[in-house]
């Protein structure tokens, strides 16, 4: 549980939670997740205007500054790119994401807002993208046997990567709520279809991402909370039990990835061999343009020009793509952006571990969801808004926990002025800065 608001009860709490910025932000998130309503741009414009009407000072965290610095570096690349039209269009798209992230960190100011947002995003994602994808699969509408959805969820790899973030929300609500709370059961009930969807995508990158964070987590939980570890193991085991045989065939091909000579045998469709060729092309691009890259959003065109036989293809690796498009300095800024959020979460979780274990568990599972998603970035690109919304949500959650812990911690002991001898000052950890 993210904790309690330090605001009055009754109407005061209502106004502190349901601010215009918060409501508009939830509407925008619903639109971009479900595609059930039009007008995302109009809603976000209204949310931006609402920032000027709020009483609180505008929040601009460090990771948002790094995001802006990365954008500024990309603008420098625009001056030297051979693809100016493509780069300018991509810059506008990322600038919009930057504004969305700014709204998110200012909309999610209180523990209740963070908790309601987590629940709202989770339920929206399960009831629409996941339900639609599972229905398609049950009716036989698949992509070569792999589950697929509509709109941005048509690519099984993208569907798996985004569903991992939703799974992080589900597990965070389940682990961070008191027993017998409805929200806790909603989180637990949502974890099953989310895990099943990830398995049915047959995404090897998603499987590696989940395994990389799930195995150490289950081992750690087995010592502290054995029943929780047993429950997670049962959930994953059930999902793997109902997994199609094609998943095991795809996973068995991972053993062929240890050698360049055998990588073409990973899958019959030859996607692994193609990805290796794309990776080699991306390395050539980085070697030719290590400082500014080929321009933000221009990798497809650069891949076509460097390797005409491959054509216009994605890099299939978020970090290689960032390096190829914005240069090695751009990659460092992008990684610093991510590291800043992770550091904020780790500091807040350390503060909450003893004072409020449930808050620490909430941050733990939110962070694990992000880390699993970032691991999938080794096999796909980040090009959607939802991951940045999740970053803002995670940062906001860490700030509410850190602030609450600072406010509830005892005041430092003052030395007795009547004492004649000197004593060493006690060390108290300074408050986490936004």
Phi, psi torsion values for 379, nearest 5 degrees: -125, 0
pLDDT band at 12 (very low <50, low <70, confident <90, very high): low
Task: Map the chain to HEC letters.
Answer: CCCCCCCCCCHHHHHHHCCHHHHHHHHHHHHHHHCCCCCHHHHHHHHHHHCCCCCCCCCCCHHHHHHHHHHHHHHHHHCCCCCHHHHHHHHHHHHHHHHHHHHHHHHCCCHHHHHHHHHHHHHHHHHHHHHHHHHHHHCCCCECCECCCCHHHCCHHHHHHHHHHHHHHHHHHHHHCCCCCHHHHHHHHHHHHHHHHHHHCCCHHHHHHHHHHHHHHHHHHHHHCHHHHHHHHHHHHHHHHCCCHHHHHHHHHHHHHHCCCCHHHCCCCCHHHHHHHHHHHHHHHHHHCCCCCCCCCCHHHHHHHHCCCCCCCCCCCHHHHHHHHHHHHHHHHHHHHHHHHHHHHHHHHHHHHHHCHHHHHHHHHHHHHHHHHHHHCCCCCCCCCHHHHHHHHHHHHHHHHHHHHHHHCCCCCCCCCCCCCCCCCCCCCCCCCC
Within 10 angstroms of residue 66's Cβ, the number of other Cβ atoms is 20
Average pLDDT over residues 50-57: 91
Mean pLDDT of 77-100: 96
Residue 398 to residue 111: CA distance in whole angstroms: 10
Given a cut of 60, is residue 212 above it in pLDDT?
yes
Q: Name which residue leads in pLDDT, 432 or 60.
A: 60
Contacts of 60 (CB under 8 A, 6+ apart): 102, 105
How confident is the model over 211-217, as a mean pLDDT? Answer: 78
Q: What is the percent of the chain with per-residue pLDDT over 70, rounded to a whole number? A: 79
pTM for this entry: 0.86
**The predicted structure's pLDDT at residue 23:** 97
Please check the confidence at residue 413 and state whether its pLDDT lies above 70: no
Stretch among 153-162, 222-231, 290-299 having the lowest mean pLDDT:
222-231
- Residues whose CB is less than 8 angstroms from the CB of residue 167 and which lie 6 or more positions away in sequence, other chains included: 191, 194, 195, 198, 369
Per residue in 143-191, pLDDT (tens digit) is: 989 999 999 999 999 999 999 999 999 999 988 877 768 998 999 899 9
**317 confidence band (pLDDT: 50, 70, 90):** very high
Residue 313 has pLDDT above 90, yes or no: yes
> Counting runs of H as helices and runs of E as strands, what totals does the chain give?
17, 0
Longest CA–CA separation in the chain, Å:
84
Torsion of CA 85, 88, 94, 99, to 10 degrees: -140
Range in 2-6, 55-59, 137-141, 399-403 with the lowest mean pLDDT: 2-6
Residue 201 tokens read as: 């995508």
The answer to whether 147 and 160 have CB atoms below 8 angstroms apart is no
Query: Is the per-residue pLDDT at 414 higher than 60?
Result: no
Mean of pLDDT values over 312-333: 96
The domain ranges of the chain are 114-405
- pLDDT reported for residue 421: 42
Q: 254 vs 48, 158, 241, 265, 300, CA distance in Å?
A: 46, 19, 20, 9, 26
- Backbone φ, ψ for residue 260 (5° rounding): -65, -35
Report residue 262's pLDDT band, with 50, 70 and 90 as the boundaries.
very low
> Three-class SS of residue 143?
strand
Report the pLDDT value the prediction gives residue 54, as an integer from 0 to 100: 87
Which of the four pLDDT bands, split at 50, 70 and 90, describes residue 5? low
Kindly report the backbone phi and psi dihedral angles of residue 146, in degrees, each rounded to the nearest multiple of 5, phi listed first: -100, 140
Closest of 343, 351, 348 to residue 363, by C-alpha: 348
pLDDT tens digit string along 327-375? Answer: 999 999 999 999 999 999 999 999 888 778 889 989 999 999 999 999 9
Distance CA 332, CA 326 (A): 10
Percent of residues, the chain, with pLDDT higher than 90: 63
Note the Cα 125 to chain centre separation in Å: 14
Cα gap 188→364, rounded to integer Å: 16
């Amino acid at each position: 549980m993210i904790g309690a608001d330090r605001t009055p009860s009754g109407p005061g709490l209502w106004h502190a939670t349901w601010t215009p910025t918060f409501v508009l932000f939830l509407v925008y998130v619903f639109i971009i997740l479900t595609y059930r309503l039009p007008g995302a741009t109009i809603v976000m414009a209204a949310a931006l205007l609402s920032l000027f009407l709020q009483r609180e000072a505008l929040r601009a965290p460090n990771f948002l500054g790094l995001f802006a610095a990365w954008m500024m570096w990309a603008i420098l690349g625009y001056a030297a790119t051979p693809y100016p039209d493509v780069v300018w269009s991509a810059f506008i798209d990322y600038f919009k994401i930057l504004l969305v992230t700014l709204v998110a960190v200012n909309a999610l100011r209180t523990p209740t807002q963070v908790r309601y947002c987590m629940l709202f995003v989770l339920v929206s994602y399960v009831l629409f993208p996941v339900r639609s994808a599972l229905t398609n699969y049950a009716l036989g509408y698949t992509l070569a046997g792999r589950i697929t959805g509509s709109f941005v969820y048509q690519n099984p790899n993208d569907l798996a990567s985004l569903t991992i973030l939703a799974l992080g929300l589900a597990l965070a609500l389940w682990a961070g709520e008191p027993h017998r709370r409805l929200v806790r059961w909603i989180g637990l009930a949502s974890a099953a279809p989310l895990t099943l969807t990830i398995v049915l995508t047959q995404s090897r990158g998603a499987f590696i991402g989940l395994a990389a964070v799930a195995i150490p987590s289950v081992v750690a939980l087995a010592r502290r909370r054995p029943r929780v570890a047993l429950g997670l193991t049962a959930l994953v085991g059930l999902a793997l039990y109902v997994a199609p045989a094609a998943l095991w065939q795809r996973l068995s091909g991972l053993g062929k990835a240890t050698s360049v000579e055998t990588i073409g045998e990973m899958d019959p469709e030859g996607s692994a061999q193609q990805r290796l060729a794309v990776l080699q092309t991306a390395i050539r691009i980085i070697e030719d343009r290590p400082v500014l890259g080929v321009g933000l959003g221009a990798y497809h065109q650069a891949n076509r020009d460097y390797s005409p036989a491959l054509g216009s293809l994605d890099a299939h690796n978020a970090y290689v793509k960032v390096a190829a498009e914005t240069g090695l300095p751009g990659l460092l800024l992008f990684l610093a952006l991510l590291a800043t959020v992770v550091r904020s979460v780790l500091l807040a979780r350390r503060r909450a571990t003893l004072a409020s274990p449930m808050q620490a568990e909430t941050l733990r599972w939110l962070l694990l969801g992000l880390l699993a998603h970032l691991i999938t970035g080794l096999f796909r690109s980040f090009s959607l808004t939802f991951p940045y919304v999740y970053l803002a949500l995670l940062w906001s959650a860490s700030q509410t926990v850190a602030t609450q812990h600072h406010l509830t911690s005892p005041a430092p002991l003052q030395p007795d002025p009547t004492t004649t001898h000197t004593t060493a000052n006690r060390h108290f950890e300074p408050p986490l800065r936004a």
